[in-house]
Amino acid sequence: MDNFLITGGCGFIGSYLAEELVKQNKKVFVIDDLSTGSLKNLSNIINHKNLNIFIDTILNQHLIEQLIKKVDFVFHLAAVVGVKKVMESPIDSIIVNIEGTKNILKFCAKHRKKVLITSTSEVYGKNVNVPFSESADIVIGSTKKKRWSYACTKAIDEFLSFAFYEEYGLSVIIVRLFNTVGARQTERYGMVIPRFTKQALSGNPITIFGNGEQTRCFIHVKDVISTLLKLIDKDESYGDIFNIGSDEEIKIKDLAFLIKEITKSNSEIKFVDPEEVYNKGFEDMARRIPDLSKLRKTIDFQPCYTIKDIIIDVVEYYKKQSDLLPYFC
């Protein structure tokens, strides 16, 4: 496969994927509406002859079909993401995430193209039976809680994907991404490690939503990219679903202290009510840990980056940002 389409290719994960494919001398088409992505994310390859960028929405059916016809494989990463973004714009989240994915699946099926659909650990919802296996039940909160709309849209995307696989023979892989982190990730939409890091480096309070006892597992974006590229080369991946993440669990309050230690920051650690930030409709999960046994069996998966490696990478990135320079001077 020499020609690839990446929807959401100006986003955090998409830009790393585009870089790696261009590095492998593949021709890459990117479509992104820049609602959460940025052309700056592609600055390392922006003028490369193998990169073609289209600033548009995945709701543009005509353009999507034309781009899919040009390529051998589609990585569908475009979505309205981030808890804060979803809480602020639930309608956009629902429409873009479902209608956009339907467009991708429809035209991939029509033109017999292979596709990888990125889903999310959010679909496990309030399930407490950790670690989460891919066959685990989905336990979603009340529809009065806006926080769950994103999880529901991605669950519908998964149902659609399997329907196209069964009814049209579409070659599709679904991956559920757990907390993916690395340089270039913004803190604007609620991503916790970039937010804690920027707060620590600027000397502001490190704000923990809730009591900090909730746990998460974090994986470096480069580990995610290498995993995606290995999965698409395995015939047994198609028509199936895989968790991608780390099972190195850490409490959010311990994460805050670790970031404070690594940055040598004097920031105080402050606990705040999540509804002060997200308003009503927010709910959190106590633990979110992936079962990675299927992934390990399929591609011999083993992340290269530890949680400390990830934090150091993010810290070094934010140290270079101009708005933090006065703190270091």
Exactly one of 124, 150, 278, 318 is catalytic; which is it? 150
Label each residue of the chain as H, E or C. Answer: CCEEEEECCCCHHHHHHHHHHHHCCCEEEEEECCCCCCHHHHCCCCCCCCEEEEECCCCCHHHHHHHHHHCCEEEECCCCCCHHHHHHCHHHHHHHHHHHHHHHHHHHHHCCCEEEEEEEHHHHECCCCCCECCCCCCECCCCCCHHHHHHHHHHHHHHHHHHHHHHHCCCEEEEEECCEECCCCCCCCCCHHHHHHHHHHHCCCEEEECCCCCEEECEEHHHHHHHHHHHCCCHHHCCEEEEECCCCEEEHHHHHHHHHHHHCCCCCEEEECHHHHHCCCCCCCCCCCECCHHHHHHHCCCCCCCHHHHHHHHHHHHHCCHHHHHHHC
Instruction: Please indicate whether residue 150 is annotated as part of the active site.
Output: yes
Which active-site residues does the annotation give? 150
